[in-house]
Amino acid sequence: MTKTAQPAKGNGDSGNIVLSIDAMGGDKGPAMVMSGLHKALQRNARLRFLVHGDSAVLEPLAAKHRLLRERCEIRHAADVVTMDSKPSHVMRHGKGTSMWAAVDAVRDGEARACVSCGNTGALMALSMIRLRKLPGVNRPAIACLWPSRNPAGFNVMLDVGADIRAEAEDLVQYALMGAFYAQIALELEKPRIGLLNVGTEEHKGRAELKVAHDMLLEAAQSGLFEYVGYVEGGDIPSARTDVIVTDGFTGNIALKTGEGTARLVSDLLKQAFRHSILSRLASLLALTSLLRLRRRIDPRRVNGGVFLGLNGTVVKSHGSSDATGIEAAVRLAHELARADLPGQLAHRVASVEEARQGAAQVGQLYGNQK
């Protein structure tokens, strides 16, 4: 194991939180990851990193910047989980990879959160096996931030790909976890929850959605969130709700559709402004507004899907992230670590479940008395 600095234990004070970084999994290589870490340290010089990967590659990159030399510990991992690796293969043969080591650092208490740009399926599989699910959580979820008309500029949506299935109880747990995540990421005191459906009428949707609808009405009485009822696809970027709850199959399709549509609109705008001399002149006149729009919807600002429901914090950065995107994912991981995401989620899931069981016992007692 090669060291450039010795971080404190991961459970130190909030100013010295240690983050575990998989430096080898991104499309743009470890140099971009290290650049992102340097940007994060320029914003918060008290961060500390355990950086996992090929030490022969990472050591020279860290040596270029004083902050990286002082605040990073390089831990050698010879193997890499590629983007086309099958999760099942990684589970059997991935122990020597940088991704496995990064997750294990959280499991062993050396770091408070893990950040990786690598293979999403493999990262989720490793995280579930190595960190385990929180007590009471049936299925973990991946939460993402979606550009919206809300004052914060984004909504939370989950699940966007952790599991293609979701029963009614799972959707309720997603709502609880999404509400707490929105409080941290969007700084909302009482987030509004919407259940994604094919219509807002109560008679529409699959059976599990109708059951989840009733359960969310009951769970909202805890005061942890406000339930606005069914929402449709057009409400995902709207100001009607703060958290959109759905299954991983639907959420992932919506996410990929949104990303593809954004790229299409961007390409069409470029083509339109390059069409003629007048259109090029118009683009110059509108440059300030276009730059404002670009910043408003820049996905790098909120880069990072969060795995919710695990006994540890894992942030999945986009595979093609640049330094700005990686810095944003690190910043998010730091905020979640400070808030003790797993502990708070476990408490909320347990408290709502206790309230539900208590209400059921009261109802049963009342029925017996009648």
pLDDT at 353 over 80: no
Instruction: Give how many domains the chain has, as a whole number.
Output: 2
What is the Rg, in whole angstroms, of the alpha carbon atoms belonging to the chain?
22
Residue 80's Cβ-count burial label (10 Å; 0-12, 13-18, 19+) is buried
Q: What is the pTM of this model?
A: 0.79
Q: Are residues 106 and 150 in the same domain?
A: no
Query: Cα 16 to chain center, whole Å?
Result: 22
Maximum alpha-carbon separation in the chain: 83
82-106 confidence digits (pLDDT tens): 888 898 888 998 899 999 999 999 9
pLDDT of residue 290: 67
Average pLDDT of span 225-237: 93
Peptide bond into 13 cis (omega under 30): no
Q: Are residues 81 and 156 in the same domain?
A: no
Average pLDDT of span 173-201: 90
pLDDT of residue 47: 92
- Asked if residues 157 and 244 have their Cβ atoms less than 8 Å apart, the reply is yes
Q: Are residues 126 and 155 in the same domain?
A: no
Q: Are residues 355 and 285 in the same domain?
A: yes
Place of tokens 């043969």: 93
Average pLDDT of span 116-123: 89
Average pLDDT of span 244-267: 86
15-71 confidence digits (pLDDT tens): 578 999 999 988 888 999 999 999 999 999 889 999 999 999 999 999 999 889 889
Q: Are residues 141 and 275 in the same domain?
A: yes
> What CATH number is attached to the domain comprising 4?
3.40.718.10
Could you list the residue range(s) of the whole structural domain that residue 68 is in? 1-132+310-339
Q: Are residues 345 and 334 in the same domain?
A: no
Place of tokens 């707490």: 180
pLDDT of residue 85: 87
Q: Are residues 260 and 186 in the same domain?
A: yes
pLDDT at 257 over 50: yes
Tokens encoding 101: 């080591």
pLDDT at 129 over 70: yes
Q: Are residues 286 and 353 in the same domain?
A: yes
Gap between the Cα atoms of 52 and 75, Å rounded:
5
Average pLDDT of span 349-355: 68
Task: Indicate the pLDDT class of residue 297, thresholds 50, 70 and 90.
Answer: low
Beta-carbon contacts of residue 21 (< 8 Å; ≥ 6 apart): 33, 37, 49, 50, 51, 52, 102, 114, 115, 116, 330
pLDDT at 295 over 70: no
pLDDT of residue 50: 95
- Asked if residues 289 and 162 have their Cβ atoms less than 8 Å apart, the reply is no
192-226 confidence digits (pLDDT tens): 999 999 988 888 888 899 999 999 998 888 888 99
Task: Indicate the pLDDT class of residue 191, thresholds 50, 70 and 90.
Answer: very high
pLDDT of residue 14: 46
Q: Are residues 186 and 316 in the same domain?
A: no
Who has greater pLDDT, 131 or 8? 131
Q: Are residues 233 and 113 in the same domain?
A: no
Q: Are residues 85 and 156 in the same domain?
A: no
Q: Are residues 156 and 81 in the same domain?
A: no
Task: Indicate the pLDDT class of residue 298, thresholds 50, 70 and 90.
Answer: low
